[in-house]
Structure 1
Amino acid sequence: MLVVDDNKVIRQLIRVNLELEGLEVVTASDGAECLDVVHQVRPDLVTLDVVMPRLDGFGTAARLRADPRTRDLPLVVISACTQYEVEAGLEVGIDAFLPKPFDPAELVSVVRALVERGQGVGEDGAAGGVVRSGLGAGPERGSGLELGTGAVIGAGKGGGPSGGAAAGE
């Protein structure tokens, strides 16, 4: 995993929550650093903040989608997104949105679902939908991630206990 956020505390909270699940995590402080690092570490997934110096999350996503080596890499935005930002993210190919503050269990669930999808889970190998978790009202399309197994993930705040750390803005 590659975690990209200009806030060091948020980067570390995301990293810790994913590492507690046994995932290997590398971090970058903005989109420009992400583009420098992504080809070296070849992550299974990238999490992006939207507002970052040098290159924001959507600009980073657009560049990752334009590169044949990273165009299919799952991208998750972790940010306090407005509806406009969600729509802009969909246009550049963001796969999932998690609001800040994020629920650690939901973070892990979304990341695992997208990584499994990228590894061919599902009968048709189709891209599925878009995870839109805890973002309030919006268009019906993309209200969950279809895994080809009948499971839909991200249709609202996940319940249940979490052993991870939570993050705010």
Structure 2
Amino acid sequence: MSGESGRVLVVDDSAVIRQLIRVNLELEGFQVVTAVDGAECLDVVHAVQPDVITLDVVMPRLDGLRTAQRLRADPRTSHLRIAIVSACTQLDLERGESVGVDGYLAKPFEPMELVALVRRLACGRERRGRRGTAGGARVGGGGGRSHRSL
């Protein structure tokens, strides 16, 4: 793994959300690189070589689900851990599962839920295709927040 805890590529069109995620992950020892949308993610992913990628769903140019689909289709990036961090619908969640997303965290989220999800993915404790909750996390409860492994 790169860095002490790993390297994370954070992809979100909101500068505020990118900074929130960056700060919380850096405080936990992760190296963080950011991108403003899926197109930029695909441009930098090979240079960054992240252990985990977090993707918002709704972004300009290339949304998070199409980005995940392209990452899975490329043999050079198909192994990367991908987490959706977004205010998603059930349909988005199902589409994410179908393209091979590893985990899901609904906005708004608690920073420690984000850190726990990224840490589990970076350490390889969650595998692609696994269904159910991640480490006792809530699914669909708690003020709109949910955290789910796919």
User: TM-score interval w.r.t. the shorter chain?
Assistant: 0.7 to 0.9
For the aligned residues, what is the CA RMSD? Answer: 1.6
**8 A contact 1:62–1:93 mirrored in 2:** yes
Per-residue deviation, 1:127: 2.4
Query: Whole-Å Cα distance in 2 between the matches of residues 64 and 110 of structure 1?
Result: 19
Moved over 2 A (4+): 126-130
Q: What are the ranges of 5 or more consecutive residues in structure 2 without an aligned counterpart?
A: 1-7, 140-150
- In structure 1, list runs of 5 or more residues that go unmatched: 131-141, 146-152, 158-169
Q: Normalization by structure 1: what TM-score?
A: 0.74
Q: Quick check: 2:14–2:36 contact (8 Å CA) kept in 1?
A: yes
Could you give the per-residue CA deviations for residues 10-60 of structure 1, whole angstroms, max 9, x where no partner exists? 000000000000100000000000000100010000000000000000010
**TM superposition score normalised by structure 2:** 0.83
Contact 1:49–1:77 (8 Å) recurs in 2: yes
Specify the structure having the higher radius of gyration (Cα). Answer: 1
**CA separation in 1, counterparts of 2:136 and 2:81?**
15
Query: What secondary structure sits across from 1:43 in the alignment?
Result: coil
The Cα shift of 1:154 comes to: 5.1
Q: How many residues align?
A: 132
2:122 to 112, 115, 119: 115
1:85 aligns with one of 60, 78, 92: 92
Q: Which residue number corresponds to residue 148 of structure 1?
A: none
Percent identity between matched residues is: 62
Assess if the C-alpha contact under 8 Å between 2:100 and 2:129 holds in 1: no
